Amino acid sequence: MNQRILSLAAAAALSLASAVAVETRTWSQNEQADYEKAILKGVSLRSDGRLALAPAVTELFDAGTPYLWAIVRDSKGMLYAAGGGTGGSTVKIFRLGADGKSTAFAELEGLEIHALALDKQDRLYAATLPDGKVWRIGADGKPAVFYDPKARYIWALAFNAAGDLFVATGDQGEIHRVRPDGQGTVFFKLDEAHARAMAFDTKGNLVVGTEPGGVILRVAPNGQGFVLYQTSKREVTAIAALADGRVVVAAAGNKGALSAPMVLALPPAPAPPAGQAAGQAPRPAAPAPQLPPVALVQGGSEVIELDADGAPRKLWSHAQEVVYALAVDAQGKVILGAGNKGSIYRVESPVLSTLLVNTPSTQVTGFAGGGSAGLFAATGNAGKVFALGPWLEKRGTIESDVFDAGTFSYWGRLNDDATLAGGTIRFETRSGNLDRPQKNWSAWAPLKDGRLTSPPARFLQWKATFTPAAAPGSAAPELSGVDIAWMAKNLAPRVEEVQATPANYRFPQNSITLNLTPSITLPPLGKTRRSSAPSLSLDSGSSSSMSYAKGTGGARWLAADDNGDELNYKVEIKGVAESTWKLVKERVKEKQINFDLTTYPDGEYLVRVTASDQPSNPPVQALEAVAVSPSFLIDNTPPVIEDLSAQPAGGRVQLRFKAKDALNWISKAEYSINGVEWLTLEPSTKLSDSRELSYDLLLDRPQPGELTIAVRVSDEFDNQATAKIVVR
């Protein structure tokens, strides 16, 4: 009576997850999170979702090294950049002229350069590591050791107003002060292993950031230190002093995550070649070991602003981005250089920031310049120099993430929240039935009177092209949001399975009642097995409980709608040999029903369920689905007891009878003597496995005299027949 079917639980879950009713809906994109997977080219993204043309980015120089860690710009507009990572025993400093020409300006002994500085005479100073030394490079590119702090790491260099050079070192956590003649001493000793970044504020105080405590200190000119703030991060990576007295600090990494600064883990310092005097230009040496790549920092970054009094407030934070560099633009806004997506951000306010550009490199490691000339950025992976601004890109595009409508859909109108300011924003769309755009999608197509012209499909993508006004100085176009109307094609519902429920049981009413009658639990639909009780239910194939109710039957079914439409059901019944379906009930909202079995003659029947999505659709668009149950029996007639006899047999009684049923197996036989309890007896074959059984039982006589013996027989539908006989 029951057939094995495929489990539908996974299909039902998918259907629910992607269900979309057939009505006009809107795909809206107007927040920063909406553009996380978008492709932006020449377009900046503000944290409130505003899109605008980005500052122009121009690659000026490719150093051919993995990293450039430092960059400075002199008063004549000359750029100097340095880094390392080539694996050799020397490291180069590159010079970029205002004419765009670049040269390898100097070559120093060491593996990396993490700090460059210029004095008031535009003389260049560079700090190498390991076995850190400070070099001064002449106008001809020849280096000479200017100062040796006897430290393994040198992380930062900074000049004060008097022309003294301050050197931030690692391992011993010392800051050295070096006079113009190259004579230096320890100026300040930290309680931390590394002085990672430093800058002078407008009052001549030295602001220092540390690792591993992520502490920010202010050191007065007399060497008196004071902790301004302890960040929640492990390492202070950059410090920028603003003209109005504020200081901005970037910190990164979870505390306790690393055992050394996150920038590099360095190998032992190579010994200098025998006979080479300090201060001489390096001679070729054996290759040094290759430095490992930049560590992937866990914990992201935060940027803290300290006002002129030292009071802190958080300006910016990000759970993944690592800020390596800080700068200030011509408008006095803080610029952040980050990794590991090569991002450059502008902080608009403590609650707003703008992702200006993503460079082709992985890390933005240093800034130089600023003001009306624009900003210059050094990068790592690969080591390059880029110019940022001061003008905007002449063209920018954004390709949205792919929208999944969940089913075949029609596209309507695109509405945008744009400010054109004389420029233009041109929209195009494309559609397809694969979850990623490729050649088998439709081509990019323009709008027509504001409506999409892409063909109906499951997936959609839009593109906006920004073009500024031709007049110099005109405001650029901006876009704050895009709404696209769409509607899923109506799909017919599905009725996956219909089953008749066991006779003499009913589904509970909606109200909760105390029920002490026998009950059963039907197995989930889609997991049918041979049983005298058919089964059926709803979307997830959940189990159903039923309580005993003689003469009641029912049906349950498993149905779904890929549009998520509300369904109602019509239930009909007919005999297997009949040609016309008879209505049981229509507009059923549940996926189960009870009906009275006693109103139907005995026989074999079918139940038909018709599902309609009409509650969610106009009548002309409503669709239906039909499914029919396996055949099942209705049996309201009790078995027949024949040839009942009871004969004395030597102090005992021999009881014999036959039981027959027209449709079902005999399921149980019992007897009672003189109205005492009913006792079960087994057929002569020992198995209750047919519609006709014989019973033969030798009973002990409980007492002399007359006995009344009653027998009771039940079939599988709990129909019962009773008979009695008197023995004297």
Distance (Å, rounded) from C-alpha 584 to C-alpha 579? 16
> Is 493 in contact with 623 (CB distance < 8 Å)?
yes
Domain ranges of the chain: 9-15+492-634, 23-51+396-488, 55-392, 640-727
Q: How many residues in total does the chain contain? A: 728
Task: Report residue 248 as tokens.
Answer: 């901005």
CA distances from 425 to 197, 401, 469, 625 (A): 43, 18, 11, 46
CA-based end-to-end distance of the chain: 48
Task: Report residue 398 as tokens.
Answer: 């954004």
Distance (Å, rounded) from C-alpha 28 to C-alpha 650? 95
DSSP H or E run through 91 = strand 90-96
CATH fold of 23-51+396-488, please? Jelly Rolls (2.60.120)
Which amino acid is present at 524? P
Q: DSSP assignment, residue 507?
A: P
Residue with tokens 């979850």, as numbered in its chain = 435
Write the burial class of residue 19 (CB in 10 Å: 0-12 exposed, 13-18 middle, 19+ buried): middle
pLDDT of residue 118: 97
Distance (Å, rounded) from C-alpha 221 to C-alpha 219? 7
Distance (Å, rounded) from C-alpha 140 to C-alpha 466? 46
Distance (Å, rounded) from C-alpha 467 to C-alpha 392? 10
Buried b (16+ CB within 10 A) or exposed e, 121-157: eeebbbbbbbbbbbbbbeeeeebebbbbbebbbbbbb
> Is 84 in contact with 111 (CB distance < 8 Å)?
yes
CA 210 to the chain's CA centroid: 34
Dihedral of alpha carbons 365, 371, 373, 374, sign: positive
Which amino acid is present at 128? T
Q: What residues contact 245, with CB distance under 8 A and at least 6 apart?
A: 201, 202, 203, 307, 308
Residue with tokens 């901006």, as numbered in its chain = 478
Taking CA 724 as the corner, what is the angle to CA 720 and CA 725, rounded to the nearest 5 degrees?
Answer: 155
CATH fold of 55-392, please? Methylamine Dehydrogenase; Chain H (2.130.10)
* CA atoms in the 13 A half-sphere facing the CB of 617: 26
pLDDT of residue 413: 98
Pairing assessment for the beta strands 603-612 and 632-634 based on DSSP bridges? antiparallel
Q: Which of 249, 215, 207, 218 is CA-nearest to residue 232?
A: 215
Distance (Å, rounded) from C-alpha 602 to C-alpha 638? 11
Three-state SS for 321-379 is CEEEEEEECCCCCEEEEEECCCEEEEEEECCEEEEEEECCCCEEEEEEECHHHCEEEEE
pLDDT of residue 564: 85
Distance (Å, rounded) from C-alpha 728 to C-alpha 455? 93
Q: Which of 572, 522, 577 is CA-nearest to residue 547?
A: 522
> Is 116 in contact with 83 (CB distance < 8 Å)?
no
Domain 55-392 matches domain 640-727 at the CATH topology level: no
Distance (Å, rounded) from C-alpha 540 to C-alpha 657? 49
Task: Report residue 596 as tokens.
Answer: 């009275």
CA distances from 477 to 245, 396, 426, 466 (A): 34, 10, 11, 7
pLDDT of residue 363: 96
3-class secondary-structure state, position 33: helix
Residue with tokens 């006079």, as numbered in its chain = 179
Distance (Å, rounded) from C-alpha 66 to C-alpha 362? 10
The predicted model scores a pTM of 0.71
Neighbours of 474 (CB within 10 A): 12
Pairing assessment for the beta strands 206-211 and 215-219 based on DSSP bridges? antiparallel
Write the burial class of residue 676 (CB in 10 Å: 0-12 exposed, 13-18 middle, 19+ buried): exposed
CA distances from 511 to 102, 508, 515, 516, 546 (A): 85, 8, 12, 15, 14
Residue with tokens 């553009």, as numbered in its chain = 35
Q: What are the 10-residue block averages of pLDDT along the chain, 728 residues in total? A: 34 40 88 94 96 94 94 94 85 90 93 96 96 95 96 96 97 96 97 96 97 96 96 96 95 75 42 39 35 60 95 95 94 93 95 95 92 86 92 94 94 95 93 90 97 97 94 82 95 94 89 53 60 36 80 95 91 97 96 96 97 92 95 96 92 94 94 94 94 94 87 95 94
Give every strand in the sheet of 679-680, ordered side by side: 679-680, 666-673, 707-715, 720-727
Distance (Å, rounded) from C-alpha 576 to C-alpha 317? 72
Question: Which superfamily is assigned to 9-15+492-634 in CATH?
Answer: Immunoglobulins (2.60.40.10)
Give every strand in the sheet of 652-660, ordered side by side: 640-649, 652-660, 692-700
Q: Count each helix (H run) and each strand (E run) in the chain, helices first.
A: 1, 56
CATH 2.60.40.10 assigned to domain 640-727? The reply is yes
Task: Report residue 247 as tokens.
Answer: 């200081």
What are the start-end ranges of the E strands in 535-639?
A: 544-548, 552-560, 568-575, 582-588, 592-596, 603-612, 624-628, 632-634
